[in-house]
Amino acid sequence: MRRLLVVLLVVLTAVPGVATAADALHSCVTWVEGNAASGRCHGSGTFRLVASCDDGRKVDSSWLTIRDGMGRTKVRCRTTAVSAVIEQRQPVAPVM
């Protein structure tokens, strides 16, 4: 069983397009100030910022892809920004 797990791990990490834990986004933070919301992530992956506004609307940024680096994005509400979250897009495994 242990040998099978090792073989699976080697195969999965050798296939292009399969993200590993080391490639994941990390240290993501968000903050709001007035009508603006900002977000930042480090690592590798795709994310966007979604802000909630005090008038009930939600505003989202476009998807941002980074590879072994840092990405930052910002959105603005027409009214005061109340909160913000980072949404991560999960990588799609190749079809075999």
Looking at residue 6, its pLDDT comes to 37
Domains and CATH numbers, the chain: 22-89 (2.60.40)
DSSP type of residue 35: T
Number of Cβ within a 10 Å radius of residue 25: 18
Looking at residue 17, its pLDDT comes to 42
pLDDT digits (tens, 9 = 90+) for 11-61: 333 334 444 445 699 999 999 999 999 999 999 999 999 999 999 999 999
Looking at residue 23, its pLDDT comes to 64
